Structure 1
Amino acid sequence: MDPVRRHYETYPYPERDPADEAKRLIEGSPSDPREIDHFLFRGRRDWSKPFRALVAGGGTGDGLIQLAARLAAAKVPADITYVDMSEASRAVAEARAAARGLTIRFETGDLVARAPELAAEGGPFDYIDCCGVLHHLPEPQAGFDALSAALSDEGGMGLMVYAPYGRTGVYPLQEAFQSLLADDAPEQKVARAKATLKSLPQTNWFLRNEHLSDHEQGDAGLYDLLLHDRDRPYTIEELCASLGAAGLGLVSVLEPVRYDPLQYLPDDPVLAERVKAMAPAARLGLGERLAGNIRTHVVYAARTARAGKAMAPLSPEARPRLRGVAPRALAVEAQKKGRLRIAFSGHRHALPLDKSLAPILARLDGRPLGAIAREGGMDWLLFAQKFGPAWRALTSANLLHCSERLP
């Protein structure tokens, strides 16, 4: 058996209990439908029309269940297919779906082979989710190519791959464990890895990386982080290159503010001009290297021809939906402090929100921005000029999405 398949048959990941579906819905990025609408369909998709989605390498089902549950709640006519090579992982995902009464097609198989076949059988997919998978394939580019072949021309993808710098310490320790434990059974590997972690010197870079915690959350997390047989991280520039080779383009990283070099540089106009002159991928790469805490790249991608125009623009028709913060609470924070602080992996970013914007922020409840402008007695040009910096700040932290039909 392929060692990666054996891994996930023994330790389905992430570790989930289907009984927990009665208590919570695990949410995140990508694959929240409002987020999908914002980044891939300009916030204007007609969700009364059928939506065909593929969850490729769906594991125990986090992204799958979020997507299916949200679409079911919105009464979207969705056709969702799950594919994973692990029978054990599939069983967990199926049990979670059954607990929620969700209708999903489940398959066990190789996504490289099955994704194009499924598209040929039932038509290309409007959306593909592939998180935590491509970096584990024997030939990752074959995975990018297969997913691209399965995608509709007007569709898009939500992807996650591991990043190197925020996982500092992981890869030397993986190599050490491979040289020590390669011939052990999975359970023996886990036991010996746990004992070794307790005896490592404090000089070990893994122990010094405060942003790593999967190994503390169960055996499945430890195995996935430190005992994986195939784990190839991507810098953001490498990820952009692999997307390009598959005929895809980057729509957006999540969260853009984390990749902004100016967040980490001194207020120096010379440096600012140099950053401005960089190509987009190089600028993102500089931000990644300066930040040092980005463990994964979560991105939305689309066909190269439409990647630059897939995201919702600042427009009178845009219907803003805040995520994780209520409009009035945001308005109060802006009025008091003129900014909103938000932390990502130990670093706090300050999002500028002019105090005079408080009345506008309080109205970001799904009404079109044009209507909000009129309520404030402003024509569109004045409103866009005034609200533009807050729009950019909130979208850069993934706190604001636009969706015409999804509440």
Structure 2
Amino acid sequence: MDDIAAQYDAYPYPHRDPEDEKKRLITGSPSHPLEIDHFLFAGQRDWSRSFRVLVAGGGTGDALIQLAQTLTSAGKPYEITYLDLSAAARRVAEARARARGLRGIAFHTASLLDAAQYGPFDYIDCCGVLHHLPEPQLGFDALGAALADGGGIGMMVYAPYGRAGVYPLQEAFGALLQGSPRDRLRQARAIFARLPEGHPFKRNPHLGDHLEGDAGFYDLLLHGQDRPYTIRQLVETLGAAGLELVGSPQAHLYDPGPIVGDPRLIVGMDDLARMELAEKLRGTIKTHVVYAAHNAAGRVARPGPGAVPHLKGVSGSKLADVITRKGVVPVTLAGEKMELPVSAMAARCLRHVTGRANLSQIGAAAGLDPIAFNAVWAPASDELTRHGLMYYSTLLTG
């Protein structure tokens, strides 16, 4: 653990400039409050109650700032605890919070293995950390023990197939290079420049962290502890910690149907077997972004009269215009271009999605009776939610 802390003290990752907080808010999955509500609280959390959050291994603060700023802007109460072993990374996160005037955050230079000492928590964010622990299962166990009743976790861990070429280089650099982080980085860059163009790493179009400066290169190729998980290994590790997989904003990646083609080939497979098959067939998944809880039943939001839909990255009126003009929703996700089928009648309904109107109100505004509305809305909702483009949450209605 001391070696890992030394790495991030030398090269805090990801590199962030607190001055950039004046220009942009970095958002992503997991840990946007809308997404948290959708996957862990059935889209119906009472946001008037203070939200107790742990950012475990918070690094330079992306998840922390996203959570605190979104909740502050929505006028919702929260208490956030930040833990990280790197004092340098913590200083960056603190500076970013100060630049935005965010309050309600307690910063600690500490290990996530001690999470239970600070809890319990309604929500825990842990992104890009567990796979770097010497004994990752202890980390999963510690986070599970720090959850309050009914709480949940959003996490990201590395996946092996989309990171083709990374692990042979990590092993080679680990065997060759000694000395300070800066010496190792200098030597590794020189060796990397001489790699043959046919090396699996150089042929992998899904890798780019090494292009983001010294911190990105070091984190990707010189990390001293990096253990990727297949989706089955992740589910089994969660299970050993008393946790269950709830869902993923990347659900479409784990559906083998479009690649298999013939649905008869996958009849009888359980959900995990299908996910495992899709991961192998795709070969491009480099991270698993998932939500987990002690009990997964009833956690994920479902469309119903009182459910409040939100669209990611686009207004309802603009999305409706696109569908009317093109007949589909064109999207690019993780470098993959696709066209999602959404009907013109569904576009008429999507035009009224504001993040404040519930489905009953949207159906009425579209001039549809409940039965007709459900028939139109259900397939569109399924298509958009499984691609991470729609969530249900009461965040803006209370």
TM-score range, shorter chain: over 0.9
Q: Give distance in 2, aligned partners of 1:141 and 1:334.
A: 45
CA contact (8 A) 1:83 1:106 kept: yes
Give the match for residue 14 of structure 2.
14
Letter in 2 for 1:365: T
CA contact (8 A) 1:84 1:109 kept: yes
Give the match for residue 175 of structure 1.
171
Give the match for residue 229 of structure 2.
234
Q: Partner of 2:321: helix, strand, or coil?
A: helix
After superposition, give the CA deviation of every residue in 1:145-181 in whole Å (9 maximum; x if it has no partner). 1101000121111100011111011001111111111
Letter in 2 for 1:223: Y
| Farther-moved stretch of structure 1 (130-139 vs 276-285) | 276-285
Q: Give distance in 1, aligned partners of 2:375 and 2:133.
A: 46
Root-mean-square deviation over aligned CA pairs: 1.4
Q: Give distance in 1, aligned partners of 2:93 and 2:30.
A: 17
CA contact (8 A) 1:336 1:355 kept: no
After superposition, give the CA deviation of every residue in 1:302-339 in whole Å (9 maximum; x if it has no partner). 112xx131111110111111111221221122223332
After superposition, give the CA deviation of every residue in 1:241-291 in whole Å (9 maximum; x if it has no partner). 11111111111122111211113222x2422xx2x4212112111111112
Aligned pairs, number: 395
Q: Give distance in 1, aligned partners of 2:257 and 2:327.
A: 19
Letter in 1 for 2:202: L
CA contact (8 A) 1:34 1:406 kept: no
Give the match for residue 33 of structure 1.
33
TM-score of the superposed pair, with normalisation by structure 2: 0.96
Letter in 1 for 2:269: M
Q: Give distance in 2, aligned partners of 1:311 and 1:190.
A: 43
Letter in 2 for 1:111: L
> Among 294, 310, 313, which residue is 1:303 paired with?
294
> Among 340, 355, 375, which residue is 1:351 paired with?
340
Does 2:147 match 1:151? Answer: yes
Q: Partner of 2:6: helix, strand, or coil?
A: helix
Q: Partner of 1:4: helix, strand, or coil?
A: helix
Q: 1:5 to 1:243 in 2, by over 3 A?
A: same
Q: Give distance in 1, aligned partners of 2:284 and 2:195.
A: 22
Q: Partner of 1:351: helix, strand, or coil?
A: strand
Cα displacement (A) at 1:356? 2.8
CA contact (8 A) 1:250 1:301 kept: yes
Letter in 2 for 1:102: L
Q: Counterparts in 2 of 1:204-219, with a 5 A limit?
A: 204-219=199-214
Q: Partner of 1:382: helix, strand, or coil?
A: helix
Give the match for residue 125 of structure 1.
121
Structure 1: any 5+ residue segments left out of the alignment? none
CA contact (8 A) 1:174 1:226 kept: yes
Does 2:279 match 1:278? Answer: no
Letter in 2 for 1:107: H
Q: Give distance in 1, aligned partners of 2:294 and 2:218.
A: 35
Q: Give distance in 2, aligned partners of 1:209 and 1:269.
A: 30
Indicate the percent of aligned positions where both proteins have the same amino acid.
53
Give the match for residue 365 of structure 1.
354
TM-score of the superposed pair, with normalisation by structure 1: 0.94
